[in-house]
Amino acid sequence: MTYRVCFVCTGNICRSPMAESVFRARVAEAGLDGLIEVDSAGTGGWHEGDGADPRTVAVLEENGYDSVHTARQFDPAWFSRLDLVIALDSSHLKALRRLAPTERDADKVRLLRSYDTAAGDDLDVPDPYYGDTDGFEACLEMVEAAAGHLLAAVREQVEGRAA
C-alpha cells in the first residue's frame, strides 16, 4: 500500500515544490519510490497551473534536484487519501487543520521543520517569494535539514504497515 505525503505552502510555487522535489529525491535514494508518493499544493489557488517560481527552479537545479512542477490548490477531499500533510509554516498548519474534515485528518498535518532535530523553537520555513536568491537558498537548506528525519519517520510508518 502506497504511503502518500503532500507538502503545502501558500501558492505552491516556492517552498512546497522545493520540499516535494527534495523529499522525492530522498525517497528515490532510499529505494522507496514505489512505496511512497510525494506531491505538493498551496493553501490558495492564485498560481494554479503555473510552474514553480524561477528562483525555486534555479536553486533546485543548481543543487541537482528535479524542478518539473505545476502549481495547484490543496483540496480538503484529499485528506481521505493522504497519510501525511506537511505544512511549511504555522499559518499553513492552522489553515490545513481548519480544513480537515475530521480530527483524525487534522492529526495528519505536521510542520516540516518539526522533523529537524536542530531547528530549535522556530519551526517556520520563511517565505522567500519577496526576497532575493539568498532566501531560496536558505529555504533549501531548511528543507534538506528536515528531509532525512522526515524520511526516517515515514519509513517507519511504511515498514509498520508491511509488518
Instruction: Specify whether the CB–CB gap between 91 and 18 falls below 8 A.
Output: no
Exactly one of 33, 50, 66, 127 is catalytic; name it.
127
Distances (CA, A) of 163 to 110, 156, 157, 158: 25, 11, 10, 9
| β-sheet bridge partners, residue 4 | 37
What pLDDT score does 76 carry? 98
User: Could you tell me the pLDDT band of residue 158, with boundaries at 50, 70 and 90?
Assistant: very high
Mean pLDDT of 139-151: 98
What pLDDT score does 1 carry? 85
Q: What does the alpha-carbon distance between residue 70 and residue 107 come to, in Å, rounded to a whole number?
A: 27
CB burial of 57-66 (b: ≥16 within 10 Å; e: otherwise) equals bebbeeeebe
> Cell numbers of 7, please?
507538502
Exactly one of 9, 14, 83, 110 is catalytic; name it.
9
Residue 7: what are its φ and ψ, rounded to 5°? Answer: -95, 135
Active site residue 55: no
Exactly one of 6, 14, 15, 55 is catalytic; name it.
15
Look at the pTM and tell me if it is higher than 0.95: yes
Active site residue 97: no
Active site residue 127: yes
Q: What does the alpha-carbon distance between residue 161 and residue 45 come to, in Å, rounded to a whole number?
A: 34
Domains, the chain: 3-162 (3.40.50.2300)
Strand, coil or helix: what is 67?
A: coil
> Cell numbers of 45, please?
489557488
Q: What does the alpha-carbon distance between residue 65 and residue 83 come to, in Å, rounded to a whole number?
A: 24
Residue 119: what are its φ and ψ, rounded to 5°? Answer: -70, -25
pLDDT digits (tens, 9 = 90+) for 7-58: 999 999 999 999 999 999 999 999 999 999 999 999 999 999 999 999 999 9
